[in-house]
Chains A and B, each alone.
Chain A
């Protein structure tokens, strides 16, 4: 619900973090101040530990595609985002937490890597990071880069949360579908991030084709196992190249795979 009334019933027992897909921090349209004020109000009511969104834009010219659209990584875009992040942080009166989204195109206009761009964002605005390890992996496949190099560049002290999720490997590219188990390569990256010194809470995203609770829970518990193993394998060579294990990838079904976000809450009707 728009103002979180229903959710608030269950909030007293658990710490809350707020994660959105509509801030459109990278858009060249004006920031939606009404939306930001609602976010702030909800964050105060729920005593949210932080408010996060994505390094992306969702629409322009007053339209919303409801997708996490990619930005070009160059000085103009960096300046634009820094200005807007500062405004958002002033309105929310707290550091903004930004997540790296999965990306499917590379702009010719880009003059720096995604990880350089994100690093600069944190330096110039003091924003914090939500490190989606699956998104790093998906983008590394789609953009032909080494995901460990990406993680090496992330400022460890800025990360407040990890995201993990399943994706769909279409052979030619990966799509961030949140509809299956986390693949081994992503788990390995997660362990690598921990070994690099990133200490943050972990959230598993499984919001399409959701299985029984026990299956989801077991996947969450795997995160603990990987962190435990990371603690004992301190002699491991951190720079071991990634080995792509295609046989463990989530294979596509006939349904058209829709990149996240694709969430709509249907009304409960009697």
Chain B
């Protein structure tokens, strides 16, 4: 059933207007953003001409186009700012196509633009089937892997930059750990800094991303497939990328997952190809490095500790 002009409510008007300005083909279009199909059908009589007055110099449609043009332009600009490496790799035009489709699949539902790119990596992953070339299967998958890696990495940068940090608090230092009675060291659990994120990528996407952000010319070649283990953190409001070895990453992951020190080390020892002595040496170096990088901020209290 369609609404008549006389009984349209403020909500009707807002749903109509929103469906017009987010329509991917502009306000001329008969097709509309997927979520708004119902609204469009219901408000079929709410045409631009009977909703909007013309001005002296613009028609009603031209006036609506100011909002419609701005919607995609504004959000694409924000996504370009958040994903500069993807823009560089894909080129502006191709990036805009991906980003426009992303905005139709995942329209913003947050009060903040900081959340706009939340699902971009997932969108690219979900879109993998469309990007796969059957004749060049391996290259196609590697290409999508790289796109997804770049999106996840750049999104992580945004989250670490905007999220909680340790700029005004103390990090865990070696003295704090050495003060723990030896018989209790094994059962301690470490508190990771809230800005620490662990990321496993299928490519060395970070090298390309950082080069783009630093404006390096010429850019490094497109990264090839290689399992890459990264720690992303923030020190003095600057996001830092730390590449670590698989064993170190494994231990960090266990500790971040709230596993006690003894069990975390045992888990690494079980999977590692390092000898017991080599691992002991590594552990010493890792803990010193983590203290310098401020990856942990405290020790969880234990019963009787």
Contact status A65-B22, CB under 8 Å: yes
Question: In the complex, what residues of B have CB within 8 A of residue A65's CB?
Answer: 18, 21-22, 71, 108
Q: Does B244 sit at the interface, judged by CB under 8 A?
A: no
Q: Does B70 sit at the interface, judged by CB under 8 A?
A: yes
Given contacts A63-B108, A66-B108, contact A269 B241 (CB under 8 A): yes
Q: What's the Cα separation between A267 and B240 when bound, in Å?
A: 10
Q: What's the Cα separation between A1 and B237 when bound, in Å?
A: 10
Which of A44-52, A99-107, A150-158 forms contacts with chain B?
A99-107
Contact of B237 among A6, A104, A173 (CB under 8 A): A6
The chain A residue sitting closest to B11, CB to CB, is A28
0/1 per residue, A28-43, Cβ < 8 Å to B?
1000100100000000
Taking residues whose C-beta sits less than 8 angstroms from the other chain, chain B's interface range is 35 or more
Q: Does A203 sit at the interface, judged by CB under 8 A?
A: no
Given contacts A27-B14, A105-B52, A270-B239, contact A67 B74 (CB under 8 A): yes
Q: Does A237 sit at the interface, judged by CB under 8 A?
A: no
Question: In the complex, what residues of B have CB within 8 A of residue A28's CB?
Answer: 9-11, 14
Contact of B10 among A1, A59, A63, A72 (CB under 8 A): A72
Main DSSP-derived SS at the A contact region: loop
Q: Does A109 sit at the interface, judged by CB under 8 A?
A: yes
Question: In the complex, what residues of A have CB within 8 A of residue B56's CB?
Answer: 144
Question: In the complex, what residues of B have CB within 8 A of residue A57's CB?
Answer: 14
Q: Does A258 sit at the interface, judged by CB under 8 A?
A: yes
Contact of A268 among B74, B116, B210, B238 (CB under 8 A): B238
Given contacts A172-B58, A267-B239, contact A105 B63 (CB under 8 A): yes
Given contacts A1-B162, A22-B112, A65-B18, contact A76 B9 (CB under 8 A): yes
0/1 per residue, B3-18, Cβ < 8 Å to A?
0000011110111011
Contact of A256 among B17, B51, B55, B69 (CB under 8 A): B69
Q: Does A231 sit at the interface, judged by CB under 8 A?
A: no
Contact status B113-A263, CB under 8 Å: yes
Q: Does A221 sit at the interface, judged by CB under 8 A?
A: no
Question: In the complex, what residues of B have CB within 8 A of residue A69's CB?
Answer: 14, 17-18, 21, 67
Least distance between A243 CB and chain B CB atoms (Å): 17
Q: Does B299 sit at the interface, judged by CB under 8 A?
A: no
Least distance between A111 CB and chain B CB atoms (Å): 13
Which of B75-83, B130-138, B260-268, B288-296 forms contacts with chain A?
B75-83
Contact status A105-B239, CB under 8 Å: no
Question: In the complex, what residues of A have CB within 8 A of residue B10's CB?
Answer: 28, 71-72, 76-77, 80
The chain B residue sitting closest to A58, CB to CB, is B111
Question: In the complex, what residues of B have CB within 8 A of residue A77's CB?
Answer: 10
Question: In the complex, what residues of A have CB within 8 A of residue B161's CB?
Answer: 1, 265, 267-269
Q: Does B274 sit at the interface, judged by CB under 8 A?
A: no
A-B contact count (CB 8 A): 169
Contact of A264 among B13, B77, B165, B167 (CB under 8 A): B77
Contact status B78-A172, CB under 8 Å: no
Taking residues whose C-beta sits less than 8 angstroms from the other chain, chain A's interface range is 35 or more
Q: Does A175 sit at the interface, judged by CB under 8 A?
A: yes
Question: In the complex, what residues of B have CB within 8 A of residue A32's CB?
Answer: 111
Contact status A258-B58, CB under 8 Å: no
Least distance between A20 CB and chain B CB atoms (Å): 9
Q: Does A64 sit at the interface, judged by CB under 8 A?
A: yes
Contact of B67 among A2, A72, A104, A261 (CB under 8 A): A104
Q: Does B224 sit at the interface, judged by CB under 8 A?
A: no
Question: In the complex, what residues of A have CB within 8 A of residue B18's CB?
Answer: 59-61, 63, 65, 69
Question: In the complex, what residues of A have CB within 8 A of residue B116's CB?
Answer: 66, 264
Contact status A61-B15, CB under 8 Å: yes
Contact status B73-A256, CB under 8 Å: yes
Question: In the complex, what residues of A have CB within 8 A of residue B51's CB?
Answer: 107-109
Q: Does B271 sit at the interface, judged by CB under 8 A?
A: no
Contact status A62-B109, CB under 8 Å: yes
Contact of B70 among A1, A173, A258, A270 (CB under 8 A): A258
Contact of A258 among B77, B109, B165 (CB under 8 A): B77
Contact status B58-A262, CB under 8 Å: no
Contact status A173-B58, CB under 8 Å: yes
Q: Does A95 sit at the interface, judged by CB under 8 A?
A: no
Listed A/B pairs (28) with beta-carbon separation below 8 Å = A5-B167, A6-B167, A22-B111, A24-B111, A28-B10, A60-B11, A61-B39, A63-B107, A63-B108, A66-B75, A66-B78, A66-B113, A67-B67, A105-B63, A105-B66, A107-B51, A108-B53, A109-B8, A144-B55, A173-B63, A258-B74, A264-B77, A264-B116, A266-B84, A266-B158, A267-B82, A267-B158, A267-B239
In addition to A108-B51, A267-B82, 10 A-B residue pairs with Cβ atoms within 8 Å of each other are: A64-B107, A66-B116, A69-B14, A69-B67, A108-B53, A144-B56, A259-B74, A262-B77, A264-B81, A268-B238
